[in-house]
A and B are shown apart, each in its own frame.
Chain A
């Protein structure tokens, strides 16, 4: 796997834990990895409201709550679920190879 140049290894699979956010860098972009029912998701880690790092927030019911003003985003889709943020987060394709997590920047 990871054959095309757009895939980047960002973490070991066992470092991505249910109920927690793992902040990683994809080039210069801050993203976060989550595991929901075994499945790994990668989404932007910067809140679209006032730029808090979402990985320091709270994972609840498949959503990440911003640590500062409680905006919420769906982890699987990046969709903004609650104010004060308005814009959705970008999601990134994820591939697993053995114990390696690859994310595509494309």
Chain B
């Protein structure tokens, strides 16, 4: 079961234009386009007449015309033209979804439209903050969305999945991991105090001596993970909350279920040094992207085994603490949505 009353990232801003863009979200076919003034719109990608995806049709002004029998729908989803017929039946309309364009992403609300408050959109300002250099991308994942969330909440996999890519630089086996939780938030914090800076940080940070490094994973449901990683010179107070100089990067992730066994994985990397240097931004991005390809291979392999036997036993280890706390939040929220739906149904 999907969590519906949340904003999800549906597309990159440049995906959506004057050519209808189809994408399945939470198991529903959706088509995106922009009106002539550039406003993004989302319809159910299913003609009210005979189910053809409207994305196979074309835009006529601000109307989407179905490829099959030429019915036209205005930007509110109402049918406004039926070729060869003057009367429009009252139910001739397609479902629309609230959409918002923010942080170079198109966000969609798949739940009760009355609850779609744009203030609830998770903060990803790093993508359009002049104090940061950033680059984002999209991966299609052949697994349930929660496997992606699990992966990002447990960085012990870096030393193994990413052994030959980013694993070495990130290795910190003796670091203390601390998990804190709130009703709708899990934070996994790892500090590596008074050690040599890893080569990636040294290259840009030019540290004279040892550094204090942090990896802070911030999870908010359903599937947003914002990782804060960086280093400052040892003794300047970062562990106590005072960051002076040093280098910081953000690894930013938004996962959107496509179906129960496939997902849309929007992610990006931001850095707070040399922010105008697009070549540097690209280099950092590409390094991380190589690692993300390695993760994606893991997800689909896990999913194949889960498909063969969804109830096979599994064990838990201490490193799963963040993963388990996040799953517990998701389970609770599912229960809350189910209860709210039953109440509405009973009214």
Contact = CB atoms under 8 A, between A and B. Distances in A.
The answer to whether A and B assemble together is: yes
Interface of A: 50, 52-53, 56-58, 67-70
A39 to B, nearest CB: 23
A75 B324 CA distance: 23
A52 B324 CA distance: 13
Contacts of A67: 179, 318, 321, 324-325
Interface of B: 177-179, 181, 315-318, 320-321, 324-325, 328
**Top 10 A-B pairs ranked by shortest CB distance?**
A67-B321, A68-B316, A53-B318, A52-B318, A56-B321, A56-B318, A68-B324, A68-B320, A67-B179, A67-B318
B316 A56 contact: no
B320 to A, nearest CB: 6
Contacts of B321: 52, 56-57, 67-68
B318 A50 contact: no
A25 B318 CA distance: 18
Contacts of A68: 316, 318, 320-321, 324
B316 A69 contact: yes
Contacts of A58: 181
Nearest to B320: A68
Contacts of B317: 52
A50 B315 CA distance: 9
Nearest to A53: B318
Contacts of A70: 328
A35 to B, nearest CB: 17
21 contacts: A50-B315, A50-B316, A52-B316, A52-B317, A52-B318, A52-B321, A53-B318, A56-B177, A56-B178, A56-B179, A56-B318, A58-B181, A67-B179, A67-B318, A67-B321, A67-B324, A67-B325, A68-B321, A69-B316, A69-B324, A70-B328
A50 B179 CA distance: 19
A35 B328 CA distance: 28
Most chain B CB inside 10 Å of its own CB: which residue of A58, A68, A69: A68
Given A52-B316, A52-B317, A56-B178, 4 more contacts: A52-B318, A56-B179, A56-B318, A68-B321
B247 to A, nearest CB: 28
B179 to A, nearest CB: 7
A93 B177 CA distance: 28
Contacts of B177: 56
Contacts of B325: 67
A71 to B, nearest CB: 12
B55 to A, nearest CB: 45
Nearest to B180: A58
Contacts of B318: 52-53, 56, 67-68
Most chain B CB inside 10 Å of its own CB: which residue of A50, A56, A57: A56
Most chain A CB inside 10 Å of its own CB: which residue of B177, B318, B324, B325: B318
A12 B181 CA distance: 27
A67 B177 CA distance: 12
Nearest to B177: A56
A70 B181 CA distance: 13
B239 to A, nearest CB: 14
Contacts of B181: 58
Contacts of A69: 316, 324
Contacts of B328: 70
B156 to A, nearest CB: 13
A70 B320 CA distance: 13
Contacts of B178: 56
Contacts of B315: 50
A29 B110 CA distance: 52
Nearest to A50: B316
B211 to A, nearest CB: 23
Contacts of A56: 177-179, 318, 321
B327 to A, nearest CB: 11
A103 B181 CA distance: 30
Contacts of B179: 56, 67
A57 B318 CA distance: 9
Contacts of A52: 316-318, 321
